[in-house]
Copies of this chain bind each other. A is one copy, B any other.
Amino acid sequence: MAESRNLVVAQSGGPTNVINSSLRGVIEAARDFANVGTVYGARHGIEGVLKEDLLDLTAQCPEEVALLRYTPVAGSIGTCRYKIRAHQQEDFERVIEVFKAHNVGYFLYNGGNDSMDTANKVAELAQQRGLELVAVGIPKTIDNDVGDSEFKLIDHTPGYGSTAKYWMHMVQNANEENKGTCPADPVLVMQAMGRRIGFIPAAARLADPGREMPLQIYLAESPCSLEQLADNVNDQLKQCGRCVVVISEGFDVGEIGEIVDSFGHTSFGSSQITVSQIVVNYLNQVGLAAKGAARGNVPGTDQRHSMAYASAVDLDEAYAVGQKALELAATGQSGYMATILRDEGAIYNVRYDKVPLADVANSERMFPAPWITASGCDVTDEFVRYAKPLIGNEMVGLPMIDGRQRLTRFEPLFAEKKLADYVPQADRET
């Protein structure tokens, strides 16, 4: 039997409802491979590797590992927004050093395109430094913006289906609210995540594939002026006295004073004013909401951690992708991302496969332009056909104890530190 080597799994970027299911898939699948030793979770992503902050996941109670299915976001081992930039060679060298010190032969990195790039670079450097390292990526993002626009590298990312399901419920229930309160509160504006990529706001259409609701969906990809938006809302009010608006956080309504994170991504959750607020204020100012008022909901991070609305399909797929990544690693297939590809045909079915990390790192996914309707404020039936299978048909029951959700609680079993303390390069600059 081959010598067993340890494994490090790390998470990067914004979390999802199902990120822990992928982690569970990794931990549970590792039990079947004798050549995989201890599974370590790097605390807060690559920063945990740099700081030698490694949680022993193999030694955790199996029941706690299983509960990862019902534990949202990244509370268990944490994620990070730390990106090792090309010029931060010292960081890359440190990663290799830590891996050597802990006999790490497998590195699984869960994240978006940026993370696939990091995983790829780590694999290349390891090879140069004589470390036998198998690096494999695990896809993840509620935004569904990993891979390519043709859905060939990946059909959809784990995490998207659950946020899409959240929006299906959100809009269905909000439509009841709007219907019930409409003489006084005729306009309800809701802001969706997804940066400037429209997959999340588009999911609002899943609440109403038959187009019976007075629902308008504004994607960043289909900009219009506030005046035009107000005209659309006004037309809807004339028709039926009420209107439900779902708008992307990245929709261009002018200055919102957003903060840019260390990835260079806009942190819309920290903007000085929200898109929803600007729209609400405009509608109230021009008096469209008649006697009453437009009002706004900004659910924010709730749409990626509202566990009761997680999609069972998404949870299962995220788990399988974690298993697949572990299998790729354990069988020595370095430089790949585990992926989900959809079978042709009317019956929804997926297969788990691999695609080169470099291909993913160099690709960009946009919301397909043909999926936006001519009106500009809706999405087509084709989008619905794409997204509907991802949210499934059932609610996920949550284990409860003493009036609260029973979430995974890991023991603080950390790997012994073997190297000198290290300050990540980006941290020195701030």
Which of A's residues lie within 8 Å of B, judged by CB? 11, 14-15, 44, 47, 71-82, 168-170, 172-177, 179-185, 188, 206-207, 259, 261-262, 267, 269-270, 272-274, 277, 280-281, 284, 291-302, 304-309, 388, 391-395, 397-398, 400-405, 407, 427, 430
Contacts and interface: CB of A to CB of B under 8 A. Distances in A.
B168 A403 contact: yes
A298 B301 contact: no
A327 to B, nearest CB: 26
A237 to B, nearest CB: 15
Number of copies: 2
Contacts of A296: 269-270, 298, 300
A80 B185 CA distance: 9
Nearest to A395: B398
Most buried by B among A74, A391, A397: A74
Contact of A305 (B81, B173, B391, B398): B173
29 contacts: A15-B177, A15-B181, A47-B183, A71-B176, A73-B176, A73-B177, A73-B180, A76-B180, A78-B181, A80-B184, A82-B183, A82-B184, A169-B308, A177-B304, A185-B269, A206-B404, A259-B284, A262-B291, A270-B296, A273-B277, A296-B298, A299-B299, A306-B306, A392-B403, A393-B400, A393-B401, A393-B402, A395-B400, A397-B397
Nearest to A426: B291
Given A15-B177, A73-B181, A173-B306, A168 B297 contact: no
A275 to B, nearest CB: 12
In the complex, the 4 A-B pairs of residues with the closest C-beta atoms, listed nearest first: A74-B180, A75-B176, A297-B300, A269-B295
A284 B172 CA distance: 34
B305 A174 contact: yes
Given A267-B295, A277-B273, A78 B179 contact: yes
Most buried by B among A71, A168, A284: A284
Given A80-B184, A301-B177, A308 B395 contact: yes
A79 B173 CA distance: 15
Most buried by B among A173, A393, A394: A173
Contacts of A306: 169-170, 173, 306
A259 B77 CA distance: 44
Contact of A274 (B182, B207, B277): B277
A174 to B, nearest CB: 6
A293 B305 contact: no
B168 A74 contact: no
A176 to B, nearest CB: 3
A75 B294 contact: no
A407 B74 contact: no
A194 to B, nearest CB: 15
A401 B404 CA distance: 28
